[in-house]
Amino acid sequence: MTIVLSVLIGFCLDCLFGDPANLWHPICAIGKLISKTEALLRRVFPSTPNALLIAGILLWFIVCGLSFLIPLIVLYLLFRIHPALAFIANTFFCYQIFARKCLADAGKDVYTALARSLDDGRKAVSMYVGRDTQALDETGVIKATVETIAENTTDGVIAPMIFMLIGGAPLGFLYKAVNTLDSMVGYHNDKYEYFGRFSAKVDDIFNFIPARISAICMIAAAGMLHFDNRNALRIFRRDRKNHKSPNSAQTESVCAGALHIQLAGDAVYFGKKMEKPFIGDPDRPITRNDIAYAERLMTGASLIMLALGTAIRIACTVNLL
């Protein structure tokens, strides 16, 4: 029950305050750990495909092991002092793991920047996406923002929520380590093709079920928010596999269907054009308001998952007792 309360309070704190600019953030620490460990392993292992694969696997176990064990040990020691201290720390950790307000603020930043000029919009969206943004038109900037919010509904909110409801902040930090590894080394390019392969595959496994749960919650949210949930379900069934990742298009397809817009398509990464299938139908032109609509869908899906997850966790706890 304390885990449920920690997740509930943590989610509320994130919705209210997000990530304070001057507050140390553990996800940044995970990122630094990845960078320093990668540099060390590249010095130790030769640059051959097999050696890089082994080094990448070792990187995953070091980063994920420490990301899980450190908060677990901290919470255990605090619990030995007093259970209330462990509860407060677990709640604070859960708050730091959530990224709902961060995603919403990112959307608002791009929206405001686009209202000033296209160049400002390109600069703003470049802070949140991996693709090249210099040549994007206004529609491209909006699409990139909507796709980021839709995809990260899973990565930033619902998936960590699921893991935290199961195992508290330690399991939440394990998930964030898996996700951060994928975002930093899980690329299909010359540098990370072998070194980041294991991290990318494990991230696909960790997100497989949460991505589909997120999509279902978003379809339900679409109906509650007076978007087109029937079309969301139709496009989800048709286009949820229109992505190289087995998980990314799950929520993107729902968002596209609910808003009657077309997402994805070809994009440029690191100077190279990548051909990608479209997601959704171009029933109407994309507008800046779609950024706000995507944020509403993300929030609605998150609240539905929070309610369902809390109810399931309480029911399981009662049955065990």
pLDDT in tens, 200-244: 999 999 999 999 999 999 999 999 999 999 999 999 999 999 888
How far lies 91's CA from each of 4, 35, 40, 234, 308, in Å? 10, 28, 34, 38, 19
pTM of the full structure: 0.92
pLDDT in tens, 288-320: 999 999 999 999 999 999 999 999 988 887 776
Asked whether 17 and 9 are in contact (CB, 8 A), the reply is no
pLDDT bucket at 271, cuts 50 / 70 / 90: low
Range of the domain at 19: 2-320
In the predicted structure, residue 86 carries a pLDDT above the cut 90: yes
Domain count, the chain: 1
pLDDT in tens, 109-136: 999 999 999 999 999 998 888 778 888 8
In the predicted structure, residue 48 carries a pLDDT above the cut 80: yes
Beta carbons within 8 Å of 39's beta carbon, 6+ residues apart: none
In the predicted structure, residue 149 carries a pLDDT above the cut 90: yes
Asked whether 252 and 243 are in contact (CB, 8 A), the reply is yes
Residue 161 and residue 164: Cα distance in Å, rounded? Answer: 5
Residue 47 and residue 315: Cα distance in Å, rounded? Answer: 51
Name the average pLDDT for the chain.
92
